[in-house]
Structure 1
Amino acid sequence: MKFRVLIILFLATVSCKSPEARRPVSQSSGSYIDQSVERNKALLSQEEAYITKIMERDSTRDYIASNNGFWYFYNERNTDSTNTQTPEFGDILIFDYTISTLDGKPIYAEGEKATREYAVDQEELFTGLREGLKLMKEGETVTFLFPSYKAYGYYGDKAKIGTNLPITTKVTLHSIKSKTSNESNN
């Protein structure tokens, strides 16, 4: 009887021991990450230099540098002083767009990308386009020049856009349905 009690007490004591963290078998110095950062900085520098060269050659347009790391110009600007609304979180946008290489070679030509309905910041859209749409007003057409990290990045779109490809996107914003008017209709 005493033996059983001792075994039960021993097992209870051993089983209450807190788990110890396992140590990694090998430790990395982080050199791979450092090399990756350097490669990405060099890639961004090359892409920005190329975009700058394109803008310098094109004196017919007024390019604007966004605070988000891309450039754009207006094809058609909404000059109506009563229409100053730009998209905000949750607004429904109806737009269409084309995608080309920086050299102007079409990737997705007009008509290939259907007119799209998009809820601002609530649906998937590549980073640059998501940020670019927020700069637009209803009825405007804007051409954006995106470095690859603002476009489809390392993975591309798994169809026509390859790895680390900077792109030009021409966007026409047809309408903005305000979030507040959407909620009152429901």
Structure 2
Amino acid sequence: MLQFRIVFSFFLMAFLVSCHQPQPRKPVSYQNGSFLDKSLKRNKAILKAEEKAIFKIIENDSSNTYYNSSDGFWYHYVQKNNSDTITPQFGDQVTFTYNLRTFSEDTIYTMAEIGQRKYLMDQQRLMTGLREGLKIMKAGEQVTFLFPSSRAYGFYGDKKRIGSDVPLKATVILKSIKQTER
């Protein structure tokens, strides 16, 4: 009888332990979003300061008419092509030259240093603002763009001459547009 009780007790304990539900584990670390909140506030402050600098440039340049792009940058025409209607579309090959300067007109890269570039629209890597800026240009036009750092090289810079969060001024000459078959 004692052996029966021991065996019965053993099976009862095994049964009770096997019916135990697994307990969820607590996370090792918990993030409350404070990093994202700080980053968002920082980026908003940077953009506000850069837009203030852009508006000052526009205010001091009464000889040009500036346009605000829906993509977050401003621009004015140095040379406009009123006779053409074709702008680059997805897959078109554009040939262009450009330079990059700071808002205080310090040259970062000259047109000669960068050279003539060929670019397949939206199929190759290119600075965000420049990619969107090319889309509003026609062949033969020369446009000066004012890019906040978020539309230029952003937080990382270009790891050469452009540092973190540097707004840029670029003058672009669109030499040609080679349309793809549609």
Residue in structure 1 matched with residue 163 of structure 2 by the alignment: 162
1:53 to 2:53 alignment: no
TM-score norm. by structure 2 comes to: 0.85
Structure 1 unaligned regions, length at least 5? 1-19, 182-186
Cα distance in 2 between the residues matched to 1:74 and 1:150: 19
* CA–CA distance in structure 1, aligned partners of residues 57 and 101 of structure 2: 14
Instruction: Provide the residue aligned with 2:91 in structure 1.
Output: 90
Q: Distance in 2 between matches of 1:27 and 1:162?
A: 33
Per-residue CA distance 1:38-78 (angstroms, 9 max, x = gap)? 01001100000011011001101000001111000000000
* Alignment coverage as a number of residue pairs: 162
For 1:125, the equivalent position in structure 2 comes to 126
Deviations 1:147-181 (Å, cap 9, x if unpaired)?
00000000000111110000001000000000118
Partner AA of 1:66 in structure 2: S
Q: Residues 60-99 of structure 1 correspond to what in structure 2 (within 5 A)?
A: 60-80=63-83, 83-99=84-100
Partner of 2:144: 143
Equivalent residue number for residue 103 of structure 2: 102
State the Cα distance separating 1:79 from its structure 2 match. 1.6
Q: 2:15 maps to what in 1? A: none
Q: What secondary structure sits across from 1:112 in the alignment?
A: helix
**The residue matched to 2:51 in structure 1 has which SS?**
helix
Q: Give the Cα separation in 2 of the matches to 1:56 and 1:169.
A: 18
**CA-CA distance at 1:22 after TM superposition:** 6.3
Runs of at least 4 residues of structure 1 off by over 6 A? none
Q: How big is the shift at 1:23?
A: 4.9
Q: 1:44 aligns with which of 44, 47, 53?
A: 47
What residue ranges of structure 2 are gaps of 5+ in the alignment?
A: 1-22
Over the matched positions of the two proteins, sequence identity in percent amounts to 50
